[in-house]
C-alpha cells in the first residue's frame, strides 16, 4: 500500500497540477484532505487552485522549457494536466524519463491535438 507522507516534508507525496481553474481548485482541496502536497501551475497569477495549493508557479504552459524547469524543480510524484493548452511533447518526454503523468501524457497529447 502506498504511503502518502506529510505535506511540506521530505516524506510528502507531491502532485503538480498543470492548470489551476475551478476544477483544479476542487482537486487540490480533495488531494489535501488525503494529505497530499499540491503545487499548482498556470499561465496567470491568482488562479483559483493557486489560492488553496501549498505552492504555485506562473508560466506559459505551452513553453516546454519552462514547464520542464518547474517539474524538475518541484520533483512531483505525479503530474496532472488539467488543461489542454500545455506543452504535451514535454509531458511525453518527461513520462519517458520516469515521471508519472495522470492520465498519461499520450492522453493529454490526443486531447490537445484533436
Structural domains in the chain plus CATH codes: 14-112 (3.40.50.20)
pLDDT at 112 over 80: no
What is the mean predicted confidence (pLDDT) over 63-89? 96
pLDDT at residue 59 in the model: 98
Q: Which three cell numbers stand for residue 84?
A: 489542454
Q: Which residues, listed in sequence order, are joined to residue 14 by a DSSP beta bridge? A: 37
Q: Classify strands 37-42 and 55-58 as parallel, antiparallel or unpaired.
A: parallel
pLDDT tens by residue, 1-33: 668 999 999 999 999 999 999 999 999 999 999
Predicted pLDDT of residue 1: 60
- Report the mean per-residue pLDDT for the chain: 94
Amino acid at each position: 500500500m502506498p504511503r502518502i507522507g506529510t505535506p511540506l516534508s521530505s516524506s510528502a507525496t507531491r502532485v503538480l497540477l498543470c492548470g489551476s481553474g475551478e476544477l483544479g481548485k476542487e482537486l487540490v482541496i480533495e488531494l489535501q484532505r488525503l494529505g497530499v502536497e499540491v503545487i499548482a501551475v498556470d499561465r496567470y497569477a491568482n488562479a483559483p487552485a493557486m489560492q488553496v495549493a501549498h505552492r504555485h508557479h506562473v508560466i506559459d504552459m505551452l513553453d516546454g522549457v519552462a514547464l520542464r524547469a518547474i517539474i524538475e524543480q518541484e520533483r512531483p510524484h505525479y503530474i496532472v494536466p488539467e488543461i489542454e493548452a500545455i506543452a504535451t511533447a514535454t509531458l511525453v518526454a518527461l513520462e519517458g524519463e520516469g515521471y508519472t503523468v495522470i492520465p498519461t501524457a499520450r492522453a493529454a497529447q490526443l486531447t490537445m491535438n484533436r
